């Protein structure tokens, strides 16, 4: 059975922080870049940082749930934790990204019109399996949270919230 281990949780938190830092720096580097095939690898790298955060958040949530104090405060964040758990599960089991770069048109317009990367968004419902294809009630609930909170929205705020949440929780749980 999984039990809370502060050393492991602190290491996982540090990895989550590093992945978030790379997400933030990398996103700034590609914002405004022309969307080309060359940019595809950079966008995939960004998605890799987000995916790392999702998996670490899932593991931290599972470990922290073994403590009474975390379980008592988890209700404040349960919807986002379930939404991001769905994103992690979807990526692992479907081998499908739940994030995509979103292009914007810059002003003044020039011909040919070129799109530049504005931000990364969680994929919309059309990129997900049908609700009826989900394996159980929990996964259907996680999917509903994903659609409610994440689908079609900028990825950065949710990733920042995960970082903030686990920084606060791991610190509160101490050693």
Q: Is the model's pLDDT at 31 over the cut of 60?
A: yes
What share of the chain has pLDDT > 70, as a percent? Answer: 86
User: Tens of pLDDT along 82-127?
Assistant: 999 999 998 887 766 777 665 544 444 455 545 556 778 898 898 8
Residue/partner pairs of 78-82 with CB below 8 Å, 24 or more apart: 79/145, 79/148, 79/149, 80/145, 80/149, 80/158, 80/161, 80/162, 80/165, 81/57, 81/165, 82/141, 82/142, 82/145, 82/146
Residue 1 located in a structural domain? no
Residue 25 located in a structural domain? yes
Tally of structural domains, the chain = 1
Q: Is the model's pLDDT at 2 over the cut of 70?
A: yes
Average pLDDT over residues 150-163: 95
Residue 87 located in a structural domain? yes
At residue 116, what are phi and psi to the nearest 5 degrees?
A: -120, 160
Average pLDDT over residues 16-36: 88
Residue 125 located in a structural domain? yes
The number of angstroms, rounded, from the C-alpha of 174 to the middle of its chain's C-alpha atoms is 25
User: Tens of pLDDT along 136-153?
Assistant: 999 999 999 999 999 999
Task: Return the pLDDT at 57.
Answer: 98
Task: Return the pLDDT at 106.
Answer: 45
Residue 156 located in a structural domain? yes
State the residue range of the domain holding 28: 6-173
pTM for this entry: 0.88
Residue 135 located in a structural domain? yes
- In 32-122, where do the E strands start and end? 99-105, 115-122
Task: Return the pLDDT at 25.
Answer: 95
């Amino acid at each position: 059975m999984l039990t809370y281990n502060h050393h492991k949780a602190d290491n996982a938190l540090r990895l989550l922080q590093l992945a978030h830092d790379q997400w933030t720096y990398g996103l700034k580097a590609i914002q405004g870049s022309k969307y080309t095939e060359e940019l595809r690898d950079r966008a995939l790298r960004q998605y890799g940082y987000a995916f790392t955060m999702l998996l670490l958040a899932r593991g931290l949530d599972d470990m922290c749930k073994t403590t009474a104090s975390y379980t008592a405060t988890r209700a404040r964040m349960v919807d986002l934790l379930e939404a991001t758990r769905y994103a992690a599960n979807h990526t692992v089991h479907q081998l499908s990204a739940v994030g995509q770069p979103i292009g914007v048109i810059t002003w003044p317009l020039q011909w040919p019109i070129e799109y530049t990367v504005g931000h990364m968004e969680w994929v919309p419902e059309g990129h997900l399996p049908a609700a009826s294809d989900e394996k159980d009630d929990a996964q259907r609930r996680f999917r509903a949270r994903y659609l409610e909170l994440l689908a079609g929205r900028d990825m950065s705020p949710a990733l920042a919230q995960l970082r903030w949440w686990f920084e606060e929780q791991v610190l509160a749980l101490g050693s």
